[in-house]
Amino acid sequence: MADQKINILSIESSCDDTAAAVLCNGKILSNIVATQEVHQQYGGVVPELASRAHQQNIVPVIHQALAKANIDKKDLSAIAFTRGPGLMGSLLVGTSFAKSLAMGLNIPLIEVNHMQAHILAHFIEEEGFDKPEFPFLAMTISGGHTQIVKVTDYFKMEVIGETLDDAVGEAFDKSAKILGIAYPGGPLIDKYAREGDPKAFKFPKPKVDGLNFSFSGFKTAVLYFMQRETKKDPEFIEKNLKDICASIQYTIIGILMDKLKKAVKETGITQVAIGGGVSANSGIRQALRDAEGKWGWKCYIPKFEYTTDNAAMIGIAGYHKYLKQDFADFDITAQSRYKF
Ligand code: KG4
Ligand code: ZN
């Protein structure tokens, strides 16, 4: 297989981004994402609207990915797709499309777990980016998940900690909603936080055993704090927005880092990678860079385009399954809850 060109078309449709990518031997030739704006007015993803938008977007997105990669359909080696976890109506669009296309082209089909793909994004060939060595710890932080995973090989992963309720992205987005910031609020909290004082206000950190997380109490604490303060001064939020955002972000990053430190201590593994939408956050990125200097960790921080949902990460996971000839049957179905 050494001098063979392995061209993989990958499809991601688990939530509200319709994405397709083409990879040749693990290198990205194209990486296209159509983000659905329809959800903004509702302050969160509306599953039925997401599914309909995927149906509209999937053909043009795949056409674009193939055109940009300058690859003809007949030169594809396999089709990789996100099987789960995610919204069922959204997953069904990508799954059905991938199955039909692979069947039509008579090439193998490769199923990918979305959460594993967020981790394997670190294996995309990119100049200036080192790849982690096994074993390493991965913290996947997104709008739907918060996990600490021990990774001993490409597909040997063990979840050693996860959220018991809300995901960390929800803690950002729900706090933003309380502050009157538009959905998804995470990136805007990050933006305002850069100009605020992280120690201006103190929010409680949840007490959760082991390596697990809980964020539902945090959101309630933010809500009660704002209600109390705006009763005293109705303009409290406007006057203190940057400091509030900085304090919220500081607390959330503190919660994540406390658990990561614990995981490093318990496993003895000092290589740490992050992935998922919240890994775009400047606070967590800085905290990991600081950890390299302070504690001698080696940290892997993804390129921005591989933090939020994308198909390149599905493609790299698919490529490593292709190398193992690990193909899916055509009667495979999408799985909204898909553990690994
Ligand atoms: O991975 P992702 O695109 O989708 C899911 O699988 O959920 O993650 C989306 C989440 C949202 O909650 C969004 O607010 C958050 O990632 N996010 C951020 C930042 N950029 C995206 N949160 C904090 N700071 C950011 N810069
Ligand atoms: Zn994701």
pLDDT tens, 76-95? 999 999 999 999 999 999 99
Q: Are 7 and 24 in contact (CB under 8 A)?
A: yes
**Which ligand 1 atom lies nearest to the CA of residue 308?**
3
Give the domains, in start order, of the chain with CATH numbers: 7-125+307-324 (3.30.420.40), 136-301 (3.30.420.40)
- Which pLDDT tens digit goes with each residue over 197-234? 999 999 999 999 999 999 999 999 999 999 999 999 99
Cα 48 from Cα 89, distance rounded (Å): 7
Q: What is the pTM of this model?
A: 0.94
278 vs 16 pLDDT, higher one: 278
Give the relative orientation of helices 186-193 and 282-295 as an angle to the nearest 10 degrees.
60
Q: Is 43 in the pocket of ligand 1 (CB under 6 A)?
A: no
| DSSP 3-state percent helix, strand, coil across the chain (nearest 5) | 45, 20, 35
The DSSP secondary structure of 191-207, one letter per residue, reads: HHHTTS-TTSS--PPP-
> What is the mean pLDDT of the segment spanning 149-162?
98
Ligand nearest to the CA of 36: 1
Residue to substitute in 91, 188, 278, 314 for testing ligand 1 pocket (most ligand atoms within 8 angstroms of CB): 278
What stretches of 66-165 adopt beta strand conformation (E)? 78-84, 109-113, 136-141, 146-153, 156-162
Distance CA 15, CA 144 (A): 9
In angstroms, what is the span from residue 277 Cα to ligand 2's centroid? 7
On the question of pLDDT at 111 being above 60, the answer is yes
The confidence score (pLDDT) of residue 35 equals 85
Beta bridge partners of 78: 8
Q: Which residue has the tokens 């100049």?
A: 127
Instruction: Check residue 181 and report its DSSP letter.
Output: P
- Position 2 scores a pLDDT of 54
Q: CA neighbours within 13 Å on the CB side: how many for 81?
A: 29
* Among the bound ligands, the one closest to the CA of 313: 2
For residue 28, pLDDT over 80 is answered with: yes
User: What span, in angstroms and rounded, lies between the C-alpha atoms of 134 and 19?
Assistant: 28
Q: Kindly give the distance from the C-alpha atom of residue 129 to the centroid of ligand 2, in angstroms, as a whole number.
A: 21
10: pLDDT confidence band, cut at 50, 70 and 90? very high
Mean pLDDT of the chain: 95
CB atoms within 10 A of CB 52: 16
CA of 171 to the centre of ligand 1 (A): 10
Comparing 328 with 15, the larger pLDDT belongs to 328
H or E segment at 127? none
Is 281 annotated for ligand binding? yes
List strand residue ranges (DSSP E) for 7-145, in order. Answer: 7-12, 17-24, 27-35, 78-84, 109-113, 136-141
For 108, the token pair is: 């193998």
Q: Is 187 near ligand 1, meaning CB less than 6 Å away?
A: yes
* Residue entry with tokens 């921005």: 304
The answer to whether the beta carbons of residues 30 and 69 sit under 8 Å apart is yes
Predicted local confidence at residue 40, as pLDDT = 80
